[in-house]
Structure 1
Amino acid sequence: MDHRIHQVSQQHALQIPTGRKPIDNQHTSDFKEILIGQQALKFSKHASQRLNERNIEFNEKQWETISEKVLEAKQKGITDSLVVTNNAALVVSTKNNTVVTAMDREEATSNIFSNINGTILIND
């Protein structure tokens, strides 16, 4: 083992910034928009097909409530959730912010849901 101290050339020396750059509000607002965009729920191709086939629709208020509750579930550590509304049931990956599948309430009553670790009940 070599215990000698070696001189490091200037080009290989660790460069530590000495001053702080001023905060650029433009980039801060861009970051917030990106963060909010990442939290928006998306639909998988399969879920989009199921919504169309089964004529399941949500108004803006309902969708906002669903999105808020899914975000709340994610903050509590839930990764895969069953969201039950008055007219539909959605399986949502909170980890990916993606609706995986959708079915109407009548169809949902005869199904077994697996691989979920949380349920969200929403009364419209």
Structure 2
Amino acid sequence: MVDLKKIQTFDQLVPQPGKGIKQPDLGKGPSFKETLDGVGGLKPQNNIGQVSPQGLAKAAEGVKFSNHAIERMRTRGISYSPEDITKLTDAISRADAKGSKNSLVLMNDSALIVSVKNNTVVTVMDKNALKENVFTNIDSTVVI
């Protein structure tokens, strides 16, 4: 048996202002521009023109960087200029035109393993990590 006195109406379920529930203050907090600036992909002033790892998840020109690649860039201190990203995009397009699926891209003393079909950089290595390395599961190499 259902006790009809205990059934709440919709109005009783919706919180009412001033009844112990604090309403958000929409006039305070960072502006939209401040929020975007905090999420941007550029490093501080001393590296103007360099794209940082944080800004590469959805980099310009449609090239994407996996979380693994971003972490490798961060730990190895690797960054690329917007011009480098443009060259990388061109290299991926050329590899795709030749039917490549996974490519090794050699650029600026670093190596990038790229999934051509996904347009995604899978991992990044610097000059020191390149020594005596064996690259497997690639079907092409592009030298920039």
Q: Deviations over 1:24-74 (max 9, x none)?
A: xxxxxxxxxxxxx9x711011100100111010110111101111111111
Residue 143 (structure 2) pairs with residue 121 (structure 1)? yes
Matched residue of 2:123: which SS?
A: strand
Residue 126 (structure 2) pairs with residue 104 (structure 1)? yes
Matched residue of 2:94: which SS?
A: helix
Which amino acid letter does the alignment assign opposite residue 82 of structure 1? L
Residue 67 (structure 2) pairs with residue 55 (structure 1)? no
Which amino acid letter does the alignment assign opposite residue 73 of structure 2? L
Gaps of 5+ in 1: 1-36
Identity of aligned residues (%): 40
The higher relative CO (CA closer than 8 Å, separation ≥ 6) is in 1
User: TM-score when scaled to structure 1?
Assistant: 0.65
Aligned length: 85
What residue number does 1:18 align with? none
Distance in 1, Cα, partners of 2:84 & 2:69: 17
User: TM-score when scaled to structure 2?
Assistant: 0.56
Gaps of 5+ in 2: 1-58
Which amino acid letter does the alignment assign opposite residue 63 of structure 2? L
Which of structure 1's runs of 4+ aligned residues deviate more than 3 A? none
